[in-house]
Amino acid sequence: MAAFLCQGVGVGLGGGMIYLPSLVIVSQYFDKKRAVAMPIVTAGASLGAVVSPIMLNSLLQRPNMTFAIVSSIYASLITAILILACYLMKPRFAPPKSYANYSESLRRFSRDTAFVTVTIGWLAAIENGLSKEFAFYSLVILNGCGFFGRIACAFLTRRIGVDTLAMVSIVVCGGVVFAFMAIRSVLSVVFVGVVFGFFWGIFAMLTDNMEEIGLRLGTAFAFAGPPIMGALRSGNHWWRPAVFSGVGLQRIKEVFANLTMDFQDAIDCNGRLYSCRPHNITEAKGVIHRLDAKESQATTKALVLQKSPTPKKPAYDDVVLVDRPVPELKTGELLVKTGAVAFNHREVWIRKRMYPGVVFGSVLGADGAGTVIASGTKDDPLVNKRVFLTPSRGWDNDPVAPESIFGILGGGANPPIGTFSEYIVVERDQVIATPSHLNDVQAAAWPLGGVTAWRAAMVNGEVQPGQNVLITGIGGGVALIAMQLCIAKGASVYVTSGSPEKIQRAVQAGAKGGVNYKDQEWPAQLASLLKKSIRSQLDVVVDSGGGDVLGKVSRVLKPGGRVVCYGMTASTTITFTMRDVLKNQKLLGSTMGSRRDLIEATNFLAQHRIVPLVSHVLDGLESAEEGFEILKRGDQFGKVVIKVHEPQSRPKL
């Protein structure tokens, strides 16, 4: 009963309510090298398990210390430490909208007997004639070596691979468990504790799903530990539990070996598994309603980022088209059949390793539009509706800044999805109905550029009818959409570009005029253009370059005028001088926008029947490399879009 309460209930509650949340919070702050960071973090558990028994045993040896007093002291210390931890550890992301499937986790756990072996070590040591004092310290030996094992795991996984390391650890752990039968002396306990502790520390860190650690520990110790070991124990001997655990570990080795041969998995820097081969799935699973049989797709082609096998200077990683399983739909999720996806220059930066939080093996793309073909919710009215995907996560309604850690689709871990895929599973609130005047190609060109332009020009720039607005770097998706929005608002728009042809095309699209920023006299030329307008000064500048943009437009920017910067194509720094302060000019940074911003922008788009400009339309995800070359040349005027599937219905005209 003591073992059951301690190892089963106590460790289960501690693991599920303290240990697991701590792991999750810390892991959220590592977009890169999480597989290295997390073993180091969890090694703290082993370190604590080394210090705690020594401290407790030392206190219990004192004549004036009863068990109740020592327990009270220890409980007070733990409480103080936990209060401090709760104060210091802040979640990076908002709470999830869906929770773990415990029945599925328990089914997976039922095939993994490895955790059970930990519970028998200390009890076996006492049962075989060792002093209780040394048996207490055998736990210190086990956890101390486990500390070094977990640290070693952080570095060995990246050198010899997870599959090889897991195989070695399983074989060694299984063999050492059989050695429990030979424990008859202090030396044998030390040997078994050292070897088993080190390799168990590694093996525990190779669990495929870190989210299940608390559930696995609690269930293992509560149900597979003391009850099974007690039932198998015979007289004063522990050979049956040792055989049970050893055989279990060896069986895991065999299963693992078979899986390793059947599947070749690529691991990203967050330690997640991505299959680069088609999965043998014969039918779509889950709660799918109103799904036509011909639309039931087991796999989907997706364009993923792959680390270049040969170093390139400058860096430029590969992209590869692979088959991925279509995820099982959950309540509140939608399956979208992609009609078209659009490039952003962000994808080029990702391949050049100039973008933070990049994850190899992840699907690229932030812009996409298509048709909802299935829902995890019964009788969902969105089924068969045309939609586009919201390109970011973490910013829903706050008018000032994201409510939680902000992330953009494609190429990273937050969120772990991208649009360059034939089929995409998303949550229901992560799509917006496509305006009826747009087809899928035009709709795919809208989301990221649309919300960025709206936030920069309308929210931060506060553009009003009759104002003069300068938009720099015309030709890119955001700049062109900003121009279209401002013209629809009734403002007079001027542009800059390094291409006379792009300036001419902008004027044809409604701009009042433009200047070539490659000409050193462009600020004076802009001033001459403005003299022809009713208002001879600029009210707002929407800038994508950075650098000394304020210095160049200062004399034509009215006092109190606004410069809104959303990019850094010219420089990562922006000059803001005392002259600008004295003129009450405002420099504002703007990065994308909220879901509410995107909805408002889409309503404005529909009201004024604005059609995003598309420069190139490519056919199929197989043509993605051509899109990257177009972006690298920089000769596009509008978005580069890939048509993936033909739409199910024609847009209303």
Q: How confident is the model at residue 394 (pLDDT cuts 50, 70, 90)?
A: very high
632 is a domain residue:
no
Tokens for 130, please give them: 């060792």
639 is a domain residue:
no
3-class DSSP state of 428? helix
248 is a domain residue:
yes
Tokens for 222, please give them: 């509560």
Which of the residue ranges 17-26, 65-74, 479-488, 578-587 would you say has the lowest mean pLDDT?
17-26
**Together in a domain, 393 and 454:** no
Q: Which of 118-132, 486-500, 562-576 has the highest mean pLDDT?
A: 486-500
- How many domains is the chain built from? 3
Residues 6+ apart with CB under 8 A from 233: 240, 241
382 is a domain residue:
yes
Residue in 517, 516, 562, 515 with CA at minimum distance from that of residue 537: 562
Per-residue pLDDT at 651: 39
Which of 208, 232, 258 is the endpoint of a domain?
258
CATH of the domain at 383: 3.90.180.10
- Helix or strand (DSSP H, E) at 561: strand 557-565
**Together in a domain, 125 and 148:** yes
Per-residue pLDDT at 191: 59
Tokens for 93, please give them: 């992301």
Tokens for 120, please give them: 């028998």
**Reduced 3-state DSSP string for 231-254:** HHCECCECHHHHHHHHHHHHHHHH
- Helix or strand (DSSP H, E) at 318: strand 318-325
Residue in 326, 343, 377, 262 with CA at minimum distance from that of residue 615: 343
**Together in a domain, 312 and 248:** no
**Rounded Cα distance, 164 and 167, in Å:** 5
**Together in a domain, 208 and 133:** yes
265 is a domain residue:
no
**Rounded Cα distance, 102 and 295, in Å:** 30
Tokens for 374, please give them: 């299935």
466 is a domain residue:
yes
Per-residue pLDDT at 193: 56
Per-residue pLDDT at 105: 54
Residue in 483, 516, 493 with CA at minimum distance from that of residue 638: 483
Is residue 269 pLDDT above 60, yes or no? Answer: no
Q: How confident is the model at residue 429 (pLDDT cuts 50, 70, 90)?
A: very high
**Together in a domain, 323 and 225:** no
**Rounded Cα distance, 559 and 490, in Å:** 21
More confident residue, 528 or 570: 528
- Please tell me the chain's helix, strand, coil percentages from 3-state DSSP, rounded to the nearest 5: 50, 15, 35
**Rounded Cα distance, 451 and 406, in Å:** 14
Is residue 285 pLDDT above 50, yes or no? Answer: no
Task: Please state whether beta strands 318-325 and 299-306 pair in parallel, antiparallel, or not at all (unpaired).
Answer: antiparallel
Phi, then psi, of 498 in degrees rounded to 5: -90, 0
628 is a domain residue:
no
Residues 564 and 541 sit within 8 Å (Cβ to Cβ): yes
**Rounded Cα distance, 4 and 227, in Å:** 8
**Together in a domain, 163 and 204:** yes
**Together in a domain, 319 and 381:** yes
102 is a domain residue:
no
Which of 607, 622, 640 is the endpoint of a domain?
607
3-class DSSP state of 27? helix
3-class DSSP state of 63? coil
pLDDT digits (tens, 9 = 90+) for 293-335: 344 446 899 999 998 888 777 889 999 999 988 888 989 999 9
Residues 6+ apart with CB under 8 A from 508: none
Mutual angle of helices 162-179 and 239-262, in 10-degree steps: 160
Residues 9 and 1 sit within 8 Å (Cβ to Cβ): no
CATH of the domain at 514: 3.40.50.720
**Together in a domain, 283 and 244:** no
Is residue 628 pLDDT above 50, yes or no? Answer: yes
Q: How confident is the model at residue 217 (pLDDT cuts 50, 70, 90)?
A: very low
Per-residue pLDDT at 418: 95
Tokens for 169, please give them: 């650890």
Residue in 451, 447, 270, 450 with CA at minimum distance from that of residue 366: 447
Residues 171 and 247 sit within 8 Å (Cβ to Cβ): no
**Together in a domain, 548 and 404:** no
Residues 6+ apart with CB under 8 A from 526: 470, 494, 496, 515, 553, 556
**Together in a domain, 199 and 82:** yes
**Together in a domain, 116 and 6:** yes
Q: What DSSP line would sit under 449-516, residue for residue?
A: HHHHHHIIIIIIS---TT-EEEE-SBTBHHHHHHHHHHHHHT-EEEEEES-HHHHHHHHHTT-SEEEE
Phi, then psi, of 165 in degrees rounded to 5: -65, -40
**Rounded Cα distance, 333 and 340, in Å:** 20
For 81, counting Cβ atoms within 10 Å of its Cβ (0-12 exposed, 13-18 middle, 19+ buried), the class is: exposed
pLDDT above 90 coverage of the chain, percent = 40
Which of 196, 223, 258 is the endpoint of a domain?
258
Q: How confident is the model at residue 209 (pLDDT cuts 50, 70, 90)?
A: very low
**Together in a domain, 433 and 461:** no
Structural domain containing residue 491: 449-607
Q: Which of 33-37, 94-98, 296-300, 389-393 has the highest mean pLDDT?
A: 389-393
For 396, counting Cβ atoms within 10 Å of its Cβ (0-12 exposed, 13-18 middle, 19+ buried), the class is: middle
> Average model confidence (pLDDT) for the chain?
75
Task: Please state whether beta strands 513-516 and 492-497 pair in parallel, antiparallel, or not at all (unpaired).
Answer: parallel
Is residue 128 pLDDT above 50, yes or no? Answer: no
Peptide bond into 314 cis (omega under 30): yes
CATH of the domain at 20: 1.20.1250
pLDDT digits (tens, 9 = 90+) for 436-466: 999 999 999 999 999 999 999 999 999 999 9
